[in-house]
Each structure stands twice: as structure tokens, then as C-alpha cells.
Amino acid sequence: MVTRHLYVARHGEADAFGEITDIGRRQAALLGRRLADIEFDAVWHSPLPRAVESTRELAPLLRPGTPAAEAAELIDHVPYVPTPAETPAGWIPFFDGYDATDAAAGNRIAERLVVRFGTAPEADAPDTHELLITHAYPIAWLVRHALDAPPARWLGLDSANTALTVIEYRPQLPPGLVMFNDQSHLPAELRWTGFGTRART
């Protein structure tokens, strides 16, 4: 059955200003080596510098001629601001200052993200393999969507730097979550699983 294979990874480690660090470059290169044998139809990256630089590090390690381009839908954003009743106590301070306008803007990006990348191909289309270099929150939103979970369930779906998530889309079937937050290409000292301790989203 025709399948859209979506490989999604967070950018490499970044500093407080959103610039990729030397560790982040190493992480991105290791991700590129892991994916070197896959024949990607395209690599898409967020417009933010930490995603752009991560793509520059890994792209030369992929098959020659693999196209890479920016996708605005992959920008770092809060995809859904939960209602007070939906918000776990530990997340309440995070949403201080988000008003209805901010929430609506983030949700519009999230909807465009799903329309562009989180959909099944037409039944007569060829198989495709796409790599997305993005941020923790868009990854969480794509995973939440794939699992058909409530909107607020994106909270707590944390992705480590350059960790790999794979989702498969087939016509008339629910999405398949093949792997989430896999860091097996990274040595122990480059794996990051805590949130809010080492790097930005």
C-alpha cells in the first residue's frame, strides 16, 4: 500500500539565543549518518537558525542531490493553548501571558502543519520519504495528531535534540507511529531527555 514516510527530528542543541552549539552540530551530523542510506524525496526545515544550521550539518551526509528547503509550517510555535480545566498544574505558569490572539495564531500554524505534512497520499501516488527538521512543539503536535489524542495532549510529548520520530500515513488508515524520540544514533553524553534544563525548544 502506498505510504508517506515522515521522518521528524528536533534540531541540534542550541544556546539561549537560539544558535546551534558545537554539541548541536555533532548531534546533527550523527543524525545525518544514521539517515544516510534513505532515499529522501525532500528535507524540510524550520526557518529558525538552529534548524537551518542543523540541516546544513546533516544534509551533506544524505544521498547526493537530496533537495532541502524551508517550510514555514515547521517554525517553533505553541500549537494549542489549553483551557484552564485542561492545563496540568505544572504547565499553568508557562501559559501566563498567552491571550486569545496568540493562541489563535499558534493554532493556525498547527493546522497548516498537519495539512501539509500530516496527511496520507492519494491511493495512486508513489511512496515518499520526507525528513523534517523542526522543534519540540511541532513534533509533539504531529504525534498527538497521529494518535488522534485530545488537543491538550501535545503537552509532555518531549523530544530530545536530534531525536528521531517516524510516522507513516496510508490512505484510509490511521497514521502509524513507528518510533518516537529515538536517540540510538547518539552516544550517551549527547542524549538529552530533560526539558527546560539544557536547551531551547
Separation between Cα atoms, residue 114 and residue 141, nearest integer Å: 8
Q: What pLDDT, on the 0 to 100 scale, is given for residue 195?
A: 57
Percent of the chain with pLDDT over 70: 96
- 126 pLDDT band, cuts 50/70/90, is very high
How distant is the alpha carbon of residue 48 from its chain centre? 13
Q: What pLDDT, on the 0 to 100 scale, is given for residue 193?
A: 55
**164-169 and 176-182: which strand pairing?**
antiparallel
Q: What is the mean pLDDT of residues 124-129?
A: 95
7: left (phi over 0), alpha (psi -120 to 50) or beta: beta
Q: What is the mean pLDDT of residues 32-51?
A: 98
Separation between Cα atoms, residue 13 and residue 6, nearest integer Å: 22
Greater pLDDT, 197 or 100: 100
Q: What is the mean pLDDT of residues 12-29?
A: 95
Greater pLDDT, 193 or 64: 64
Q: What pLDDT, on the 0 to 100 scale, is given for residue 199?
A: 40
For the four alpha carbons of 113, 115, 117 and 119, in that order, the dihedral sign comes to: positive
Q: Length of the chain, please?
A: 201
pTM of the predicted model, to two decimals? 0.94
Q: What pLDDT, on the 0 to 100 scale, is given for residue 101?
A: 95
Evaluate if residue 151 carries a pLDDT over 90: yes
Phi/psi at 174 (5° precision): -70, 150
Lowest-pLDDT range of 15-29, 84-98, 115-129: 84-98
For 175, the 3-state DSSP assignment is coil
Q: What is the mean pLDDT of the chain?
A: 94
Lowest-pLDDT range of 21-25, 122-126, 197-201: 197-201
Cβ–Cβ < 8 Å for 121, 2: yes
For the four alpha carbons of 74, 77, 82 and 86, in that order, the dihedral sign comes to: positive
Q: What pLDDT, on the 0 to 100 scale, is given for residue 196?
A: 52
AA identity, residue 17: F
163-182 tens-digit pLDDT: 999 999 999 999 999 999 99
Q: Which residues are bridge partners to 167 per DSSP?
A: 6, 177
Q: What pLDDT, on the 0 to 100 scale, is given for residue 200?
A: 41
Which single residue is written with the C-alpha cell 493546522?
111
Separation between Cα atoms, residue 172 and residue 156, nearest integer Å: 29
Contacts of 138 (CB under 8 A, 6+ apart): 46, 73, 74, 75, 76, 77, 79, 110, 113
Q: What is the mean pLDDT of residues 127-153?
A: 97
For 123, the 3-state DSSP assignment is coil
